[in-house]
Amino acid sequence: MNYNLTFIPARTEKPREYGLTMVMDKGLSLNEAQNLIESSGDYVDFVKLGFGTSLITKNLKEKIKLYQDAGLRPYLGGTLFEIFVIRGLFDGFVKFVEELGLDLVEVSDGSMELDNSVKCDYISELAKRFTVISEVGSKRADVHIPDEEWINMMKNELEAGSWKVIAEARESGTVGIYNKDHSANTKLIDDIVRQVKVENVIWEAPIKSQQAWFIKTLGANVNLGNIAPNEVIALETLRLGLRGDTFFQFLPENMSQK
Amino acid sequence: MNYNLTFIPARTEKPREYGLTMVMDKGLSLNEAQNLIESSGDYVDFVKLGFGTSLITKNLKEKIKLYQDAGLRPYLGGTLFEIFVIRGLFDGFVKFVEELGLDLVEVSDGSMELDNSVKCDYISELAKRFTVISEVGSKRADVHIPDEEWINMMKNELEAGSWKVIAEARESGTVGIYNKDHSANTKLIDDIVRQVKVENVIWEAPIKSQQAWFIKTLGANVNLGNIAPNEVIALETLRLGLRGDTFFQFLPENMSQK
Amino acid sequence: MNYNLTFIPARTEKPREYGLTMVMDKGLSLNEAQNLIESSGDYVDFVKLGFGTSLITKNLKEKIKLYQDAGLRPYLGGTLFEIFVIRGLFDGFVKFVEELGLDLVEVSDGSMELDNSVKCDYISELAKRFTVISEVGSKRADVHIPDEEWINMMKNELEAGSWKVIAEARESGTVGIYNKDHSANTKLIDDIVRQVKVENVIWEAPIKSQQAWFIKTLGANVNLGNIAPNEVIALETLRLGLRGDTFFQFLPENMSQK
């Protein structure tokens, strides 16, 4: 930090097991990726190349190398896994990941239906060669998944070999762990936290109020995902109690005014 | 594409007559314009220098040259035409366009009232020297234009010399062809599509749900406008069925699960 | 301007006393700051390094120098003042500002409670060495400050040494001088304008409709703050009547159609 302040919560350091920030890259140019690295590289653990963008992004290999050389781990968004699998091209997916030199893959079933045991087979298979993260929850607002099912799937997938599980919210932050008005689905989140190790869950939290809610509820080092590239520094200030929303969060009682 | 996938809809190629993407530039710096070109140049047909921004943008000629050299056609947003015309400076407008070396102009009456026959005269006059696109619809939420009038104006303007007509939505996507809640005004759009050749209409669609709706309704190669520079790649994935919203759109029956 | 148009309102020139535009920098990289300077430097008076971002931004001194050399005055957002003060580190704050070579400071009490007389003491103290701007209004939606209190605080703070007072709205534009739906709290704003010299007030106006409202109500040279970096050019067109929202604002009667 540029000034040594008191009462700043300790943040985990890279390579982080917890306190992770995952950024959504929807097609940044090389220069824009470089801007992200320069300003925010220390605070970004993973860069998700969102949905199918990696198929049509120019200079993809150069961008991947840029991120990797700077210590940010890029990976392909889960929808890309589904795009290959629905076409019966799982082997093609593995080949594509390997050719790009990626060491992390995401398995999801947000767009297509996948029996959870089949999904877990994919996870086990991929876990032999890559670090796997898997995403739980549908992208569709009209699909309701009961709370116990969320938790069972998360447990199954971690057991099958997922390093972390992601709780779905889309880029818009209006489905899955959130209600339509962007507020947290507290009942579901409480249930998850009680039954799954919180260090193993990455919460998609594209909107500031959602990020603040998670930091206030689960601490400075909660894992958060789907962060916009130009919001990384702002998120880090939320984690450290350096923004209005979390101003009092890490202060001792005698400084707290409310 | 970085991987040769099956069931990807065929996209038209540059110079496109259909399947057009028009991007809104609200004052990008030269570097930012360069970023757009590098990451998304293949997917952008036109760059609209929005409303009056071209009057106060620095390095305007350099930026125009940058776009033109990269095969993106820049032009002045229709509001600028109106800014000149309301002041009685139509000749000044023509001179300004020519000095900038532009080959495309937009004629609109979204801010001022212009009798449609007068508007068509401007279109005919400009069509002698430039490619003309004209915009139909008011920017004001309180101005209601009956459906038949939309269609008549579009037909008149195409006949007068417009290469394409644009259906107004503003940058906010809440007027004209959309309702206040951003949803599509399906009755109006249906009417237009039945009576105007769809290849000749550019739909302003600044919001993702609007883009997805048009792609699902009118196909991968629907003409779309008012796209934000950092959303071009994401839009192209929607067009190609590479994002959740259009995941099943171009798949054969036997792969479709819903 | 790139073309010499009639009926464009006269804008004040740098260094401005009125007609100020304050931009919010939430962690731009050096390149992104350079982009802002290149495209919009003439239209930006101040750059607020938002809340605690300055504590964790890399290359902070280089960025400050970049802005200063280009004639944009950077300063630390008021929340940073509060972050130091609540920890009893006011002297540390002064030292931090001086080490960064800044000549402008912001005093606020948007996150913590500060008796107005104590706040005025801080203002007086800082005004001996720096230009001071102070912010009035709480960041919390649940804190209601009566109108007379807003006005008294503004008067007190100007008297204590503030060069300008800022009316709070947050980055979201939903508290203080705005209602929850982003519309202007006209009663409060009217009261302020009647009793405080309007040249001395900077209105936070992050949203276009708010910017347009202030320009239509208080003129082209109203002081506006919390502008996003990529919206500066668009704001300047609003000020000059070069966008739909203010199209008729500066035209003579005989050109006005509505």
pLDDT-derived band at A172, boundaries 50, 70, 90: confident
Looking at the complex, does the CB of residue B6 fall below 8 Å from at least one CB of chain A? yes
Chain C: residue whose CA lies nearest to A242 = C52
Residues B243 and A79: beta-carbon distance below 8 Å: yes
**What's the whole-number average pLDDT of chain A?**
95
Q: Does A26 touch chain B (CB under 8 A)?
A: yes
pLDDT value at residue A144: 84
- Secondary structure element (H or E) that encloses residue C109, with its range: none
Considering CB atoms only, which of A53, A60, A96 is closest to B237?
A: A53
Condensed to tens digits (0 to 9), the pLDDT of residues B109-131 reads 999 999 999 999 999 999 999 99
**Residue B215 binned pLDDT confidence (cut-offs 50, 70, 90):** very high
Asked if A151 and A191 touch (Cβ cutoff 8 Å), the reply is yes
Give the pLDDT band (50/70/90) at residue B258. Answer: low
**Interface residue of A36, A56, A60, A95 to substitute, partner B, most B CBs within 10 Å:** A56
Distance separating alpha carbons of residues B188 and C163, to the nearest angstrom:
53
Q: Do A111 and B5 touch (CB under 8 A)?
A: no
Residues of A in contact with C89 (CB under 8 A): 5-6
> Between chains, do C83 and A2 touch, taking CB under 8 Å as contact?
no
Report pLDDT for C258.
Answer: 54
Task: Find the angle CA(C112)-CA(C114)-CA(C116) to the nearest 5 degrees.
Answer: 145
Structure tokens given for C68: 């200063």
Kindly report, residue by residue over B32-62, the tens digit of the pLDDT: 999 999 999 999 999 999 999 999 999 999 9
Phi/psi of residue C171, nearest 5 degrees:
-65, -25
- Quote the minimal CA–CA distance from A3 to chain C in Å: 6
Nearest residue, CB atoms, A55 vs list B2, B35, B255? B2
In order along its 258 residues, chain C shows pLDDT tens digits of: 999 999 999 999 999 999 999 999 999 999 999 999 999 999 999 999 999 999 999 999 999 999 999 999 999 999 999 999 999 999 999 999 999 999 999 999 999 999 999 999 999 999 999 999 999 988 777 878 899 999 999 999 999 999 999 998 876 777 789 988 899 999 999 999 999 999 999 999 999 999 999 999 999 999 999 999 999 999 999 999 999 999 999 999 888 775
Query: Which is higher by pLDDT, B52 or A141?
Result: B52
Confidence check: pLDDT of B257 > 80: no
Q: Give the pLDDT score at A143.
A: 79
Other CB atoms closer than 10 Å to residue C160's CB: what's the count? Answer: 21
Cα separation, A20 vs A201, in Å, equals: 10
Q: C215-227 burial string, b = 16+ CB within 10 Å, else e?
A: beebebbbbbbbb
Q: What percent of chain A has pLDDT over 70?
A: 99
Q: For residues B87 and B109, give the distance between their C-alpha atoms in angstroms, rounded to a whole number.
A: 14
> Is there a contact between C255 and B87 if contact means CB atoms under 8 Å apart?
yes
Least confident residue range of A102-106, B114-118, B254-258: B254-258
CB contact under 8 A, B7 and A87: yes
What b-and-e string marks burial along A47-77, b requiring 16 or more CB atoms within 10 Å of the CB?
Answer: bbbbbbbbbbbbebeebbebbeebebbbbbb
- Put simply, the chain B residues between 36 and 55 with a CB less than 8 A from any chain A CB are 36, 38-40, 42-43
Give chain B positions within 8 Å (CB) of C242. 51-53, 55-56, 79-80, 83
Q: With CA atoms as reference, report the closest residue to B58 among A81, C197, C36, A59.
A: C36
DSSP characters over B139-204: S-TT----HHHHHHHHHHHHHHT-SEEEEP-TTTT-STTB-TTS-B-HHHHHHHHHHS-GGGEEEE
Mutate to test the interface with A, among B7, B243, B249 (most CBs of A within 10 A): B243
- Are the beta carbons of B242 and A51 separated by less than 8 Å? yes
In this structure, what is the dihedral angle of CA atoms A105, A108, A112, A118, given to the nearest 10 degrees?
A: 90
What element of type H or E holds B249? none
Residue with tokens 């601490």: A219
Reported CATH class of domain A21-255: alpha beta
Q: Nearest residue on chain C to A246, judged by CA atoms?
A: C111
How would DSSP label each residue in A138-159? -S-TT----HHHHHHHHHHHHH
pLDDT of residue A171: 67
Helices (H) then strands (E): counts for chain B: 10, 8
Q: How far apart are CA C20 and CA C223, in angstroms?
A: 4
Coil, helix or strand for A207? coil
CB–CB of A242 and C51 under 8 A? Answer: yes
Query: What's the rounded mean pLDDT across residues A64-70?
Result: 98
Q: Model confidence at A139, in pLDDT bands (50, 70, 90)?
A: confident
Cβ contacts below 8 Å, chain B against chain C, sum to: 94
Closest CA of chain C from B157, distance in Å: 22
Give the pLDDT of residue B254.
87
Q: Do A189 and A226 contact (CB within 8 A), yes or no?
A: no
Reported confidence tier of residue B90, pLDDT bands at 50, 70, 90:
very high
Most confident of A49-58, A137-146, C142-151: A49-58
A90 touches chain B (CB under 8 A): no
- Residue A204 pairs in a beta bridge with A225
Reduced to 3 states (helix: H, G, I; strand: E, B; else coil), residue C181 is coil
Q: Is the peptide bond before B146 cis (omega within 30 degrees of 0)?
A: no
What is the value of ipTM here, to two decimals?
0.95
Domain ranges of chain A: 21-255
Q: Which residues contact B164 (CB under 8 A, 6 or more apart)?
A: B20, B133, B200, B201, B202, B223
Q: What is the pLDDT of residue C174?
A: 78
The CA distance from C61 to the nearest CA of chain A, in Å, is 10
Chains that touch C (3 or more CB pairs under 8 A): A, B
Chain B, window 136-175: residues with a beta carbon less than 8 angstroms from a chain C beta carbon: 139, 170, 172
- Give tens-digit pLDDT for B155-188: 999 999 999 999 988 767 778 899 888 999 999 9
Closest CA to C108 of C129, C95, C92, C126: C126
> Is residue C35 within 8 angstroms of chain B, CB to CB?
yes
CB-based contact B2 A57, cutoff 8 Å: yes
Residue at A80: amino acid letter? L
